[in-house]
Amino acid sequence: MASSAVSIQGLRVRRGGREVLREVSCEIAPGTVTGLLGPSGCGKTTLLRSIVGVQLVEAGTVTVLGRPAGSRELRDRLGYATQNPAIYPDLTVAEALRYFAAVLRAPKSDVDRVIAEVDLTDHADVLIGRLSGGQRSRANLAVALLGEPELLVLDEPTVGLDPVLRDELWGLFGRLAAHGSTLLVSSHVMDEAARCGQLLLMRQGRLLAHDEPDGLLRRTGTPDLEQAFLRLIREGALL
Amino acid sequence: MSLPVTLATNRRILTQLRHDPRTVVLMLVMPTLLMVLLRYVFNSTAQFSAIAPALLGIFPFTIMFLITSVTTLRERTSATLERLMTLPIAKPDLLFGYALAFGLIAVAQVSIAALVSVTWLGLDVASSVWLLLLVAVLDALLGTALGLFVSAFARTEFQAIQFMPVIVLPQFLLCGLLQPRDEMGWLLSWVSDVLPLSYAVDALNHVTHSAEVDGTLVRNMAIVAGSALLALLLGAATLRRRTP
């Protein structure tokens, strides 16, 4: 499908002699919020790194916005937030964002916009090293929002945030998708799955399912997504 | 490559330093304090004048090497490098941004040390003080560039520090300060011909002892500058957009 925002065919990745991704294939439709869920260590981050184009892959193809992942032309069309904040602790929030905005050739007004979007306006002039863990991960997310990228790849952006903020961020993700951005958001918290339009369930380097939350519940005949995930794992084990 | 991105990187690194005043003070005054110490260790202007020119290059070279290797390593290990590699920044933009920022620090550092040495400690400079400054800044830049390069081979800051005895001390022993280079055995003399710090020290000695700007001086300065540029480009080659 040429119209997919992300298209992955037979992706295999080996890290430190261990096979981390085994024959992963999927298509991510543009303008959706797709949740990538699975236990920690199942290969979520490696899959995201492959899409962003920083992961050495063994086999398979990853096409992002119609180009091979990691292409030069993609570098200002894609926003990536790593799980551990990748942002300078010895700069203030505004200083760090001004730097990344300059690298992206994003307009200066973008800095204030993204700071407001992650609700850090009161902390714009605080050193990132002095922020709390949750604030730091929001500053990290703000960098990914600079330049209004067409594809946002977010690795566990809501870890350690209080429920109110988490709710606000998921609201933001929905609005960004409504404006045409594609979002791929990883999480290991099942109760966030219901906020996604599409779900990718992953375990031990394989994709177990790719469906809408409702579709998944119907297919497995379970009352909630946690149960649905368990059912899928057990069925997979029987194969 | 893009000049605005290089300058933004330079500004970002200087801003980071501004938030760390202790490091800035240490960088600016350490070479000067060491020169003062050296002067009173000898307790004679003549002896000090003989050795001071070389050390005016070696102290900033060493300090900038240390600071740069640890700072760049921090960028490599803190995932900010990986983030930058997903963004539209060319590798030389990043490295030249670093070189420019630390080069500016080196200018300040060397200026203070040279000024104090000439006005207070009694160092005689046969040619112009400006030429002395230029050579010493080139030496500091060489230290910066080598620091950037070796940070690729260290995984932790602990390892990075240990590259100082590996990269800096042999050059210090062989640069002609302790023993004239042509009086060393043929093997060591040849090794010292290959190491860039030897040319830096030759140039500094020339500038302090002779007013003449000759071909050898220009050649030595070109070798130091060329080595710094080479180390920077090698450093750029060690940056990888894709990692295992």
* Mean of pLDDT over chain B: 90
Average pLDDT over residues B154-173: 90
Q: How confident is the model at residue A22 (pLDDT cuts 50, 70, 90)?
A: very high
Q: What are the residues of chain A with a beta carbon less than 8 Å away from any beta carbon of chain B?
A: 15-16, 52-56, 70, 72, 75-76, 78, 80, 82, 84-91, 95-96, 99-100, 102-105, 127, 143
- Contact at CB, B80 and A87, closer than 8 angstroms: yes
- Report chain A residues whose CB lies below 8 A from the CB of B85: 54
What ipTM does this complex have?
A: 0.88
Average pLDDT over residues B115-126: 88
Distance from CA of A70 to the nearest CA of B (A): 7
Residues A130, A132, A134, A139, Cα dihedral to 10°: -10
Average pLDDT over residues B144-170: 90
Whether residue A108 has pLDDT greater than 60: yes
In B3-22, the residues whose Cβ lies within 8 Å of chain A are 4-5, 8-9, 11-12, 15-16, 19-20
Distance from CA of A43 to the nearest CA of B (A): 13
Q: Percent of chain B beyond pLDDT 90?
A: 50
What does the pLDDT look like over B99-113, one tens digit per residue?
A: 899 989 988 999 999
Q: How confident is the model at residue A237 (pLDDT cuts 50, 70, 90)?
A: low
* Neighbour-count burial of B99, counting CB atoms closer than 10 A to its CB (0-12 exposed, 13-18 middle, 19+ buried): buried
- Report chain A residues whose CB lies below 8 A from the CB of B5: 102-103
- Report chain A residues whose CB lies below 8 A from the CB of B244: 15-16, 55-56
What does the pLDDT look like over A169-223, one tens digit per residue?
A: 999 999 999 999 999 999 888 888 888 999 999 999 999 889 999 998 998 888 8
Whether residue A238 has pLDDT greater than 70: no
CB B154 within 8 A of CB B160: yes
pLDDT of residue B21: 92
Give the distance, in angstroms, between the CA of residue B182 and the centroid of all CA atoms in the same chain: 24
* Neighbour-count burial of B70, counting CB atoms closer than 10 A to its CB (0-12 exposed, 13-18 middle, 19+ buried): middle
The partner residue sitting opposite B19, judged by closest CB among A87, A90, A105, is: A90
- Contact at CB, A56 and B9, closer than 8 angstroms: no
Tokens 């070389």 locate to B54
Average pLDDT over residues A44-52: 95
Report d(CA B174, CA B189) in Å as an integer: 8
Indicate the domain borders of chain A.
1-77+151-162+182-239, 83-148
What does the pLDDT look like over A116-150, one tens digit per residue?
A: 999 999 999 999 999 998 899 899 999 999 999 99
Identify the CATH number of the domain defined by range A1-77+151-162+182-239.
3.40.50.300
pLDDT of residue A1: 44
Average pLDDT over residues B213-222: 92
Whether residue B165 has pLDDT greater than 60: yes
Average pLDDT over residues A92-96: 97
The partner residue sitting opposite B87, judged by closest CB among A84, A96, A104, is: A104
pLDDT of residue A239: 44
CB A34 within 8 A of CB A211: no
- Contact at CB, B86 and A54, closer than 8 angstroms: yes
Average pLDDT over residues A95-122: 95
Residue of B1, B11, B12 best to disrupt the A interface, most CBs of A under 10 A: B12
Q: Is the pTM of this model over 0.95?
A: no
Whether residue B7 has pLDDT greater than 60: yes
Of B30, B38, B39, residue with least CA distance to B109: B30
- Contact at CB, A56 and B86, closer than 8 angstroms: no
Average pLDDT over residues A49-58: 94
The partner residue sitting opposite A75, judged by closest CB among B4, B11, B86, is: B86
